[in-house]
Amino acid sequence: MRIAVYCPHYEDAGGVREVVRRLSRGMVARGHAVTIVPRAPGGRTAPLPDVDPESGARLRRVRVVRAPHRGLGRSAYRRFVARFPAAAFRLVAAVGAAEPEIVAAHCSKFHAPYVAALRLAVRAPIVIHLHNGAETADGPPSPRLQRLLQRSAARVIAVSPAVADFARSSLPGRAADVVTVPNGSDPTEIADAVPVCHARPYVLGVGALAARKGFDLLIDAVAASHIDYDVVLVGDGPEREALERRAEAHGLTDRIRFEGQVDRQTAAGFMRGAAIVAIPSRFEGFSLVCREAMLAGRPVVASALPVFPPELRNGETGLVVPPDDVPALSRALARLAASPEEARALGDAARDAARAFPTWDEVTERVLKEYARVLR
């Protein structure tokens, strides 16, 4: 099968990139011809590879600018309207050059106009991979753009039942076109990682340093709990300076380490070495971090969000607290710090429960079956 993948965020670090990389690698290994079309990164002068070394897929980068949301004002709309025709032409040309039999789009509603252009100009059905619900990393809810995105698709593959419910409620007349295929996991990647040695026990947070991940809540909770643990944050993003100032205000500067972006093996090492993995997110579409922490046998403290796996059960395989609730998060951290035996038992139970997670190989097979159904 010839598959074109429109993933504007593929050059960015994050969960969507990891999902597309894993799926593409599995599809290429099965003999499918995969072309990934990401947004061209700005400010780059050095040549970029034409073949992705991690997946073996061909890369065709294009310059696109996403649709604005209302909060950005009329000037943002005018700029988008002026730039969209040329950007859409470039995207259609890049996707069309792959001569795809099917187009897979891993993008949010703010790229819906481009997906609509692909539907009109490329003679291949489109499958939308939906990674989030109403709230996304690149903007607030936009029902109009969400409906446009889904109307352009022959099938919507949602990463969780909660995201699938959102998709069905967004376009009830096309509810039958929505299916759920969860993301996969790689148990060996976690099991083979060497735990990071740290002088003191630490609470680990992994992800973009952005408001949606709730690391500001984590810093406040650690300060309120008075636990004698450090905090290690793996990732980078726009909130780093604000988080550094917050730590300084709490007198925690010497106990918080900002590791920045690291490779997958290093991140897995931090995971295996953590005393607690905290996931205080305000919203998620599908948390790879939660699944990896459970595979690593670490005690998890997470927000009570519907997208977390059902295997994460409060008091059995981890601790779950209300979102945006610093006192509850503080109590959960203090509880695990005061009882290493309970923390260890929760981590062991989490690892046992994580055996039910599908592997990337299984997920790739399921996705390919959905593509085949669309083609039939």
DSSP at 196: P
Q: Which residue has the higher pLDDT, 276 or 190?
A: 276
| Superfamily, domain 2-184+358-375 | Glycogen Phosphorylase B; (3.40.50.2000)
Strands (E), 227-338: 230-234, 256-260, 276-279, 300-303, 319-321
| Cβ-contact 269, 195 below 8 angstroms | yes
Domain 187-356 is found in CATH 3.40.50.2000: yes
Structure-token match 């909660």, residue found = 162
Q: Specify burial of residue 252 (Cβ count, 10 A radius: 0-12, 13-18, 19+).
A: middle
Of residues 262, 338, 316, 372, the one with CA closest to residue 27? 372
DSSP bridge partners of 350: none
pTM of the model: 0.90
pLDDT computed for residue 43 by the predictor: 62
List the structure tokens of 139: 């903007």
Q: What is the per-residue pLDDT across 116-145, written as a single tens digit (0 to 9) for each? A: 999 999 999 999 999 998 888 777 889 999
pLDDT computed for residue 270 by the predictor: 96
20-46 mean pLDDT: 90
What ranges do the domains of the chain cover?
A: 2-184+358-375, 187-356
List the structure tokens of 135: 């709230």
358-373 mean pLDDT: 97
CA distance linking residue 178 with residue 155, whole number of Å: 6
Q: pLDDT at residue 42 above 90?
A: no
List the structure tokens of 92: 């259609």
- Angle at which helix 15-29 crosses helix 360-375, to 10 degrees, equals 70
Q: What is the per-residue pLDDT across 210-269, written as a single tens digit (0 to 9) for each? A: 999 999 999 999 999 999 999 999 999 999 999 999 999 999 999 999 999 998 889 999
153-164 mean pLDDT: 95
Alpha carbon distance, N-terminus to C-terminus of the chain = 13
Backbone angles phi, psi at 129, to 5 degrees: -95, 110
Q: pLDDT at residue 44 above 80?
A: no
pLDDT computed for residue 48 by the predictor: 83
Q: Count CA atoms closer than 13 A to 66's CA, side-chain side.
A: 20
Same fold for the domain at 2-184+358-375 and the one at 187-356? Answer: yes
- Angle at which helix 143-151 crosses helix 161-170, to 10 degrees, equals 90
89-96 mean pLDDT: 97
**Considering the chain, what percentage of its residues have pLDDT values greater than 90?**
83
